[in-house]
Structure 1
Amino acid sequence: MFPIVRRLPLNLPKSIPLLHSSALNLTAITTPTSSQTLDFDDTHRLFSSSPTSSLISSLSHLYAMAFSPLVDLGITALRSRLISETEIGRRAIKATAYSRFCAGEDAESAAKTLTELWGRGMRGILDYGLEDAEDNAACDRNLAGFLHTVEMTSSLPRDSVSFACVKITAICPITLLERVSDLLRWEQKKKTIDLPWKSHSLPILSPSSPLYHTPSSPPPLSETEEQDLRLAEERLTTLSQRCSDFNVPLLIDAEYTSVQPAIDYLTYSAMLRFNHNDRPIVYGTIQAYLRDAKERLMLAVEAAEKERISIGFKLVRGAYLTRETELASSLGAASPIHSSIEKTHACYNDCTSFMLGKVVSGSGSVVLATHNFNSGKFAAAKAEELGIDKGDQKLQFAQLKGMAEALSIGLSNAGFRVSKYLPFGPVDQVIPYLLRRAEENRGFLSASTLDRQLMRKEIKRRLKTMLSGRG
């Protein structure tokens, strides 16, 4: 029986061992030849829908966020309660990082941003930016917000919303996710442990998955914990059903490794209940910076094919690098993250090739969430090589609002389905999201200059045209 949820008002508060199965063999994956699908040379066409004022604003933000001392200062400010809990501080955050990366304080503001995107030929992924609920009451309140977000899509332009998004930590208490993850890791380690609460699922961990979080046998779930887990399952079922009713697929975000096994368990259980049509309703997320990412992806897909369900995954690089590295070090374990960015890129592209093969076979769908131009080009070329239609719903690209604008526009201009990730919610509620973006940007924006180069080139072209009297 599903929990009764009170309807809220519209202005909501704001290196892998070889596997025996040939189905998991990636040796046949080849690097596609260079494709001319994506054109970043013609900045006039690339930025034709972007006003000059918008380009100048975006360029100034990009330069600011590529300046490490300024990013460090911003992270300190976001972490400081003195800043985030004062009216002046909230206004400062809202005028800077918040306005760049977030779509507004409520669902209606996000809808306005999404409609503007739709007018530019792109779609939106709606994300009510909540996470880390502490109790069932908070989980129920959060669920109501997610349900409202899904219901609101019926008032938006048809097909303008590509996905709704949820973090399991918003609808299941974080301490329970840690307990369930410990038990799942111990089950993987010992094989004989009995988990009476565990439902049918796909493989959650792989032989190469790290188990250092759980050094000793954890106690079984108490009756109260089992009841709370059932409530969390019911919340996810309620949300998945609502997404199915409104024909809006649900992206379930990946989070940090201490709770990811429980997140995958809940995600895969929902997949088995809802993904019986050609188009998946429930999508999981694979973080390619994790060393076991490729193996876990392949195991889950192979199992889904045996279950005869459609499976969908969002592929990302990952956003918890500092947290994961520090935790592993504190426990005397090796980091679960690839030892170099090059290995992460290679893993991401391998997973991309694998999932594009499943798009061709009809058994899988993929959202390629990347800000990396080389990965975007690789995926576009591979899709072209495999004969995947650019408008195929089973292949979609996504970038965060405020990031990789040129890549988003270039993919969209080439005919691919592209979405921007639109987190929304009150400033104080989305600060954890903003912190991850700031930390991610420290590496991403300082290492990548292409967006800035292209915007600068287009601004110069427009200025030259204006001065010559031709514009």
Structure 2
Amino acid sequence: MAKSGISVRTGRILLANREVALRVSSRQVGSGGAAGARVLLTHQNKTGSSSQDTAERLLILQRRLKSTATPRAAPATAAPFIEHYDGIKNEKLSVEILNRRKDPLDLTFTDHHAAFKSKSTWEVMRALLVFQLCGIGPLVDNNEKLMKFGQAVLGKKLFGVLMKKTFYGQFVAGEDTVRIQPTIDRMRSFGVKSILDYSVEEDLTHEQAEEMEMESCVSDAAKDDGLPSNIAGIPVVSDKAFKPFNHEDIGEMTRYQAHKEFGDRRQGVFSARTFFYQGEVNCERNLETFMKCIETVATTTQTTGFAAIKLTALGRPQLLLQLSEVIARARKYHQEVTGVKGSVIEGHVDPQMFENRFREKGIKVDKPEVQAWLDNMTYDKQGLIHLFSWSGLLDTNILLQDLFKVPNLKTGRMEPLISALTDEEEDQFKNMMRRIHTVFQFAKDLDVRVMVDAEQTYFQPAISRLTMEMMKKYNTEKAIVFNTYQCYLKEAYKSLILDLEQSNRQNFFFGAKLVRGAYMEQERARAEALNYPDPINPSYEATSEMYHRCLDLCMKRIHNLKAEGKEKRVGIMVASHNEDSIRFAIKRMEELDIKAEDKVICFGQLLGMCDQLSFPLGQSGYSVYKYVPYGPVNEVLPYLSRRAHENKGILTKLEKEKTLLKQELKERLKTGKIFHRPEGDYIPI
């Protein structure tokens, strides 16, 4: 049977003995800011045989090319093209940018005119209606059933019209790349840019999600072999029965294994999208979706926007679990050899210490395989960075079980730290890495920034590690790849410090999105059930403090680089609906002399929510983004359901927005501006 895969640079696809190559030439940005591209599709039949899979794949590609090969020109009224954060030392901004319109900012965020002048009166009324409905508990709690009932009674077409007038119209920009353009253009004219996300989700039952998760998160090799008693001479805690242990590494194996009671990763999660593994072909479709989204950013936002992706969409999640497990075991191995706890990079250990300890253990360091392992450790003058050369993941000829080998501390034999993998799973990992590289190479070619969303803590060590490797490879000239840091985690600050240190020591640009987090209830329940330490901060106040510490750390780094006249090598997105965090960021920007024009700090909120934050910030000259979902009405219902639940959970904040909406509506009725047509003249930075 033929293997499947996509090469990094050409988007070459191998399916069922046929080869499809997708090649995109360099984009040239014209005077209107629209991107133009030459896209070539070649199809080579190597065997002369036909293939239904290949035909379906070609249809997907042809549809994509048809919709994007001739990008729409930017409207004549659109703001001039602005180069995004790029790290140039003494970048000179145009006079038009420097003299752009900037309004005074009300830091109480109670200026209803600034918040809603970008909206028509109907849109103000719709927002008020939707937020009122989000406050009705039984309606929100049963919204999935009600939406399915509505589809059945009204039919999908009429139901779609109703949703466009209400929830869909409030939280989703449109069905496709053409229909979202007016929303993007109008927001931009009022100082707000866009983060695009194609928000179609599978509508799975709880049982279906559970079954898919367990099938995709357990290795066939593990089913045969069971859990090992030790790894490279280090004892492993076996906790299949979830019994409590008095052991410092409690839950070492359990944490990075799938468990049926938490198989449906959507449970208790209302502010994040969930992907379930449905085979390699579906991962290819997800790849196409991400690439289409990146192209949409390039052609509709004049490359000033972002795209957002999740790594669980691009491969089998079991592989992320096993990589996370490798990272935990590497820390334990490092501790056993050096006596230093924590991650490898923070120990600043001299690699010579490993050779000395091996000699003490009677391990023959002159053996070729041991010497090769010592030579391949990643380090600099300050000490070790990684035990392994993680860049080896870029080499698709290396097996994971060969890459993550270490000398057994008892026998000296080279043994894998990673759990056993089948040949098929090794191939699946290669496919996942090809997809990840395809996304970021494509983004770099089109000069589009991509944010990698954070996920559950059992996936996150692998996600962060892979994202940092992508930064190292693709953030050589500017920040293209952005990692996400969930500040409700106890280890958020430490993780951020270490990643900033790595970017500094390995000389690449660093991009970070700071969020509070989306999986709190689920994470706490899982930690308690599986008997490992709760990874979540003890209170909301502790999370806010962590958020501000992380933000302050990044801003001080930016300030120091600026004061030293060095490149702008750190870019941060303050992704928050919290007014106090926004005020904190603005205050620290003033204190540290970080200007909006430096283009290193930006703010982000969801479309349809917290407009009293986003638009006044954008109109005051700050860099602001709205997270802009799009997709067909009847296919984004799971997304809309989550937005309804999320708004129910922040009723106090909603009251303020509802009050401002009422004030705006009342003023328009008083002044006869019922048919107000929003027209902005702001230029976003």
TM-score norm. by structure 2 comes to 0.57
Secondary structure, in 3 states, of the residue corresponding to 1:313? strand
Secondary structure, in 3 states, of the residue corresponding to 1:134? coil
Counterparts of 1:233-252 in structure 2 under 5 Å? 233-252=433-452
Secondary structure, in 3 states, of the residue corresponding to 1:220? coil
- Of 286, 308, 317, 1:165 maps to 308
The one-letter code sitting in structure 1 at the alignment partner of 2:168 is Y
**Residue 259 in 1 paired to residue 459 in 2?**
yes
- Of 164, 170, 175, 1:105 maps to 175
Q: CA deviation digits over 1:393-446, x for unaligned, max 9? A: 221111111111110011112210111101223456545544543443332234
CA distance in 2, matches of 1:84, 1:269: 45
Residues paired across the two proteins, number: 426
Give the direction of change, closer, same or farther, for the CA distance of 1:75–1:379 in structure 2 (3 Å limit).
farther
The one-letter code sitting in structure 2 at the alignment partner of 1:9 is R
CA distance in 1, matches of 2:108, 2:577: 16
**Residue 389 in 1 paired to residue 595 in 2?**
yes
CA distance in 1, matches of 2:625, 2:184: 10
Secondary structure, in 3 states, of the residue corresponding to 2:629? strand
CA distance in 2, matches of 1:137, 1:53: 43
User: Which protein is bigger by CA-based radius of gyration?
Assistant: 2
Secondary structure, in 3 states, of the residue corresponding to 1:449? helix
CA distance in 2, matches of 1:36, 1:152: 31
- Of 94, 100, 117, 1:48 maps to 117
Shift in Å, 1:262: 2.0
The one-letter code sitting in structure 1 at the alignment partner of 2:192 is M
Secondary structure, in 3 states, of the residue corresponding to 1:367? strand
Counterparts of 1:78-117 in structure 2 under 5 Å? 88=155, 91=160, 96-117=166-187
CA distance in 2, matches of 1:388, 1:85: 54
CA distance in 1, matches of 2:431, 2:510: 24
**Residue 369 in 1 paired to residue 513 in 2?**
no
CA distance in 1, matches of 2:662, 2:420: 59
Q: CA deviation digits over 1:278-298, x for unaligned, max 9? A: x30100101111221111111
- Of 510, 515, 536, 1:337 maps to 536
Give the direction of change, closer, same or farther, for the CA distance of 1:122–1:396 in structure 2 (3 Å limit).
same
Q: Which residue does 1:322 correspond to in 2?
A: 521
CA contact (8 A) 1:134 1:174 kept: no
Shift in Å, 1:230: 2.1
Give the direction of change, closer, same or farther, for the CA distance of 1:270–1:103 in structure 2 (3 Å limit).
same
CA contact (8 A) 2:486 2:515 kept: yes
The one-letter code sitting in structure 2 at the alignment partner of 1:256 is Q
- Of 138, 141, 146, 2:290 maps to 146
**Residue 282 in 1 paired to residue 282 in 2?**
no
Give the direction of change, closer, same or farther, for the CA distance of 1:427–1:461 in structure 2 (3 Å limit).
closer
Shift in Å, 1:274: 0.6
Secondary structure, in 3 states, of the residue corresponding to 1:124? strand
CA contact (8 A) 2:524 2:536 kept: yes
Give the direction of change, closer, same or farther, for the CA distance of 1:367–1:57 in structure 2 (3 Å limit).
same
Q: Which moved more, 1:87-96 or 1:183-192?
A: 87-96
Q: Which residue does 1:199 correspond to in 2?
A: 391
CA distance in 1, matches of 2:541, 2:152: 40
CA distance in 1, matches of 2:183, 2:538: 38
Q: Which residue does 1:67 correspond to in 2?
A: 136
Give the direction of change, closer, same or farther, for the CA distance of 1:47–1:341 in structure 2 (3 Å limit).
same
Extract unaligned runs of 5+ from structure 1.
Answer: 13-34, 202-216
Give the direction of change, closer, same or farther, for the CA distance of 1:335–1:73 in structure 2 (3 Å limit).
farther
Secondary structure, in 3 states, of the residue corresponding to 2:605? strand
How much identity, in percent, do the aligned residues show? 32
CA contact (8 A) 1:67 1:446 kept: no
Q: Which residue does 2:322 correspond to in 1?
A: 179
Give the direction of change, closer, same or farther, for the CA distance of 1:439–1:327 in structure 2 (3 Å limit).
farther
**Residue 269 in 1 paired to residue 469 in 2?**
yes
CA distance in 2, matches of 1:336, 1:36: 37
CA distance in 1, matches of 2:332, 2:129: 50
TM-score norm. by structure 1 comes to 0.81
Q: Which residue does 2:612 correspond to in 1?
A: 406
The one-letter code sitting in structure 1 at the alignment partner of 2:651 is L
The one-letter code sitting in structure 2 at the alignment partner of 1:449 is E
Give the direction of change, closer, same or farther, for the CA distance of 1:263–1:111 in structure 2 (3 Å limit).
farther
**Residue 135 in 1 paired to residue 279 in 2?**
yes
Secondary structure, in 3 states, of the residue corresponding to 1:284? strand
Give the direction of change, closer, same or farther, for the CA distance of 1:313–1:219 in structure 2 (3 Å limit).
same
CA contact (8 A) 1:38 1:410 kept: no
The one-letter code sitting in structure 1 at the alignment partner of 2:524 is T
Give the direction of change, closer, same or farther, for the CA distance of 1:321–1:224 in structure 2 (3 Å limit).
same
Secondary structure, in 3 states, of the residue corresponding to 1:107? coil
Q: Which residue does 1:346 correspond to in 2?
A: 545
Secondary structure, in 3 states, of the residue corresponding to 2:179? helix
**Residue 229 in 1 paired to residue 429 in 2?**
yes
CA distance in 1, matches of 2:520, 2:152: 27
Secondary structure, in 3 states, of the residue corresponding to 1:399? strand
Give the direction of change, closer, same or farther, for the CA distance of 1:67–1:240 in structure 2 (3 Å limit).
same
Extract unaligned runs of 5+ from structure 2.
Answer: 1-6, 14-21, 23-57, 68-103, 202-274, 338-372, 374-386, 394-416, 562-567, 674-685
CA contact (8 A) 1:8 1:148 kept: no
Higher helix share: 1
CA distance in 1, matches of 2:601, 2:456: 26
CA contact (8 A) 1:104 1:425 kept: yes
**Residue 449 in 1 paired to residue 655 in 2?**
yes
Shift in Å, 1:355: 1.6
Q: Which residue does 1:9 correspond to in 2?
A: 63
Q: Which residue does 1:303 correspond to in 2?
A: 502
The one-letter code sitting in structure 2 at the alignment partner of 1:348 is Y
Secondary structure, in 3 states, of the residue corresponding to 2:627? strand
Shift in Å, 1:150: 1.9
CA contact (8 A) 1:139 1:170 kept: yes
The one-letter code sitting in structure 2 at the alignment partner of 1:60 is L
